[in-house]
Amino acid sequence: MVSSQGNNHYVICEDLFKIYKIADLEVVALRGLDLKVKLGELMAIVGASGSGKTTLLNILGGLDIPSAGKVTVGERNLLKISSRDLVRYRRQDVGFVWQQAGRNLIPYLSAYQNVALPLTLLGWSPRKQRRRVEEMLEAVGLTHRRRYRPDRLSGGEQQRVAIAVALAHSPPLLLADEPTGELDSQTARAILDVFRSLNEAYGVTIIIVTHDIRIEEEVDRIVTIRDGRTSLETIRTPQFRRPGTGPEGTLQVQPTNPIRGSNSPPGILEALRLRLTFLSPDGMICCTRTAIRLAGDSFTQIKPLTIQHRRRKRHSRA
């Protein structure tokens, strides 16, 4: 469902305010925040504690109502929506992934049963449920763990099941609040890779709230919130050219971070992060960050490119 504005923005926030009243005290969580998210975009919202990130996520998920301003998700105005439509919106149009596994999964149900539960509540037929649950568990790489309860799964596996639960009913919007906050760096990167693969496979719009600055390598856009307002936006823009059409220059390749698989023998790399620098004759330096997956004598790119351009400094001769 595309925004009623007639463009490809699925989420639109304009001059958004949220004020909490505690006795005689007023706490302003959002102060005129503006945000637009395109349909099918994978983006992150970062900021310090108390900056308003989680408040914004709760508003977009229909868990909280803004005090003033405008917030539109698809064709729904969440400031003017009725209670009945708001319940329908939360059940059908949005999925949630929280930091704590206890908020995502029911402890006495298996991974399969957790993914199937929202489909049962929505009235899906058993046959349709079975196909969808198997599809989602395969998408997050946990088909072999389908009969395990959460207490027998690792933290990363629990978050993968949570992602499958959130996307089981095919919502157009997925909201994730600190999904890697309790995971180690390698597992966190694997979870972010799952978000990327699902975004590309299903075209779902994904908004991730996090403190983790490493997410800049995993998403298309980062919006920084400070004091309840958007203060900075970073966009990754890949650029490509056909071989032989650009200026000739020097290409420098610098490994930056090896990636070892959990089952790989010592010293064997599963993938490698690279920093590529192209020095063109006209003094332009093109810095590119990417990653490749190693397979025998061949490799496959697994990370989109992050392009940065700057002019090379010219030193004057004495």
> pLDDT, tens digit, for every residue of 44-90?
999 888 888 999 999 999 999 999 999 999 989 998 899 999 999 99
Q: For residues 58-88, b (16+ Cβ closer than 10 Å) or e, as one string?
A: bbbbbebebbebebbbbebebeebeeeeeee
Residue 26's pLDDT band (cuts 50, 70, 90): confident
Which segments of 65-184 does DSSP mark as H helices, in order? 83-92, 101-104, 111-121, 126-139, 155-167
C-alpha distance from residue 299 to each of 35, 127, 268, 274, 308 (Å): 38, 39, 14, 12, 24
Report the CATH number that the domain containing residue 266 is assigned in CATH.
3.10.450
Q: What are phi and psi of 214, to 5 degrees?
A: -70, -10
Same domain for 304 and 228: no
Same domain for 106 and 48: yes
Report the CATH number that the domain containing residue 47 is assigned in CATH.
3.40.50.300
Contact yes or no for 259/274 (Cβ under 8 A): no
Q: Write the pLDDT tens digit of every residue in 88-135.
A: 999 999 999 998 877 899 999 999 999 999 999 999 999 999 999 999
**Considering the domain boundaries, does residue 245 fall inside one?**
no
Same domain for 264 and 197: no
Same domain for 297 and 204: no
Which residues span the domain enclosing 277? 250-311
- Cα gap 112→136, rounded to integer Å: 10
**Considering the domain boundaries, does residue 22 fall inside one?**
no
Q: What is the mean pLDDT of the chain?
A: 79
Same domain for 258 and 163: no
Which segments of the chain does DSSP mark as H helices, in order? 53-60, 83-92, 101-104, 111-121, 126-139, 155-167, 185-202
Q: Write the pLDDT tens digit of every residue in 245-280.
A: 444 444 444 444 444 444 444 444 444 455 555 554
**Considering the domain boundaries, does residue 244 fall inside one?**
no
Contact yes or no for 172/204 (Cβ under 8 A): yes
Furthest-apart CA atoms within the chain: distance in Å = 81
**Considering the domain boundaries, does residue 209 fall inside one?**
yes
Domain end residue (candidates: 176, 208, 235): 235
Sign of the Cα pseudo-torsion (121, 124, 125, 127, in order): negative
Same domain for 226 and 261: no
The DSSP call for residue 145 is G
Count the domains in the chain. 2
Q: Please provide the DSSP assignment of 230-250 as one string.
A: EEEEEE-------TTSS---E
The pTM of this model reads: 0.73
